[in-house]
């Protein structure tokens, strides 16, 4: 299972997000807490900063090798800072069919949209499903697709379905995304468990979703993901939460993702992640299966909304 980390808040050194914490994203590629396998298929990040020459565009970095082997990271990252970040380490099957290239490393970014995307999910049979899904895709996004991953195709499909960039529009887009996927599965008799744990990020905004469908194509899946770990790993990972932490004074906590707890309306930073990144996991809000979260930096503080997705 891939790992995702998104951040919004004040401008901070990028190495405090990606390199320095004991449970940093780079270290998770070697030793993820909630997944048994190494993350060997590459990694990348997109970051916005007012100190870049093009502050309205994401600085993108991709490397098609295990993050813990990336000899460039310690040379580039300490020179950067960011107020918005989306980072990802890619997991894949341990076989020669996996295509490891820059073009297949998350996050994905296209011209003509403020959003970049990463996920730790999977859309089975996505190439065959395109027979039904391509009519929903706009040429302006299809022309920009360069890799061979399901996530980049989902990015094309989602952007094509969006009617706007407001919270309501994005929620409707995600709901429509799963709707057309399920219809395509039914039409082509390709129903399969589909895990969509997606981070959609723009400057000062994080939208995180945790949804999909079970083995029979049903969206109202239930169960204890921890108890299912040894019985049905795929279903367990489908039902596993995503995690959010909000607070303030992150910069005062060296080598960790700790923040000072505070009333919700006083939070100045937010993290969206695949697993809790601090020893006190209770400080993290679970984004349960079937939920969507909207995080946005407004002035100096972070607004937060959690909704249930229709499905």
Per DSSP, the residues of 182-237 read HHHHHHHT----EEEEEEEEETTEEEEEEEEE-TTS-S-----TTGGGGT-HHHHH
Q: Classify residue 53 as exposed, middle or buried by CB count within 10 Å of its CB (0-12, 13-18, 19+).
A: exposed
What does the pLDDT read at residue 205? 98
- Judge if the upstream peptide bond of residue 157 is cis by omega within 30 degrees of 0: no
Question: Sign of the C-alpha dihedral, residues 262, 264, 267, 273?
Answer: positive
Model pLDDT for residues 226-272, shown as the tens digit of each residue: 999 999 999 999 999 999 999 999 989 988 899 999 999 999 999 99
Q: Which residue has the higher pLDDT, 51 or 99?
A: 51
Q: Which two structure tokens, joined as six digits, stand for 267?
A: 């939070």
Extract the tokens encoding 139.
Answer: 């040429």
* Domain-wise residue ranges, the chain: 3-308
Residue 17: how many CB atoms within 10 A of its CB?
A: 26
Burial class for 52, CB neighbours closer than 10 Å (0-12, 13-18, 19+): middle
Mean pLDDT of 114-120: 96
Residue 168: phi, psi to the nearest 5? -65, -40
The C-alpha angle 26, 155, 272, rounded to 5 degrees, equals: 40
What is the CB-side half-sphere exposure of residue 286 using CA atoms within 13 A? 9
User: What distances in angstroms separate CA 218 from CA 56, 113, 119, 184, 302, one per listed residue?
Assistant: 40, 31, 21, 14, 34
Token output for 239: 């039902």
**Residue 96 reports pLDDT greater than 90:** no
Contact by Cβ (8 Å): 78, 13: yes
CA pair distance 22, 42, nearest whole angstrom: 20
- In the block, tokens 């407004």 appear at 298
Would strands 108-109 and 43-48 be described as parallel, antiparallel, or unpaired? unpaired
Mean pLDDT of 214-236: 95
Class of CATH domain 3-308: alpha beta
- Going from the C-alpha of 311 to that of each of 120, 291, 298, the distances in angstroms are 20, 10, 30
pLDDT in tens, 30-76: 655 544 555 456 889 999 999 999 999 999 999 877 777 788 888 89
Asked which of 57-71, 73-87, 296-310 is least confident by mean pLDDT, the reply is 57-71
Determine phi and psi for 128, rounding to 5 degrees. Answer: -70, -35
Q: What is the DSSP letter of 122?
A: B
- In whole angstroms, give the CA distance from residue 18 to residue 248: 18
Give percent above pLDDT 90 in the chain. Answer: 75
Provide the 3-class DSSP secondary structure of residue 50.
Answer: coil
């Amino acid at each position: 299972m891939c790992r995702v980390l998104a951040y919004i808040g004040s401008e901070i050194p990028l190495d405090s997000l990606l390199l320095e914490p004991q449970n940093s994203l780079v270290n998770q590629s070697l030793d993820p807490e909630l997944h048994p396998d190494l993350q060997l298929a590459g990694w990348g990040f997109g970051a916005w900063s007012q100190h870049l020459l093009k502050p309205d565009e994401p600085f993108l970095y991709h490397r098609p090798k295990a993050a813990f082997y990336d000899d460039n990271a310690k040379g580039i990252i300490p020179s950067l800072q960011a107020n918005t970040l989306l980072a990802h380490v890619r997991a894949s099957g341990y076989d020669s069919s996996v295509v490891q290239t820059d073009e297949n490393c998350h996050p994905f970014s296209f011209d003509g949209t403020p959003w970049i995307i990463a996920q730790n999910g999977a859309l089975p049979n996505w190439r065959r499903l395109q027979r039904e899904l391509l009519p929903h895709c706009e040429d302006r996004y299809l022309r920009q697709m360069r890799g061979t991953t399901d996530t980049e195709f989902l990015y094309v499909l989602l952007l094509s379905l969006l009617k706007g960039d407001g919270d309501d529009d994005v929620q409707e887009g995600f709901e429509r995304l799963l709707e057309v996927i399920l219809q395509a599965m039914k039409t082509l008799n390709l129903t399969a468990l589909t895990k969509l744990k997606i981070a959609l990020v723009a400057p000062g905004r994080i939208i995180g979703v945790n949804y999909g469908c079970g083995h029979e194509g049903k969206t109202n899946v239930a169960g204890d993901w921890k108890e299912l770990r040894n019985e049905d790993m795929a279903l367990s990972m489908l039902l596993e939460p995503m995690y959010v932490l909000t607070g303030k004074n992150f910069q005062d906590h060296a080598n960790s993702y700790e923040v000072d707890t505070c009333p919700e309306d006083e939070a100045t930073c937010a993290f969206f992640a695949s697993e809790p990144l601090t020893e006190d996991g209770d400080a993290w809000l679970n984004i349960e299966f079937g939920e969507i979260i909207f995080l946005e930096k407004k002035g100096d503080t972070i607004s937060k909304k959690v909704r249930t997705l229709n499905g």
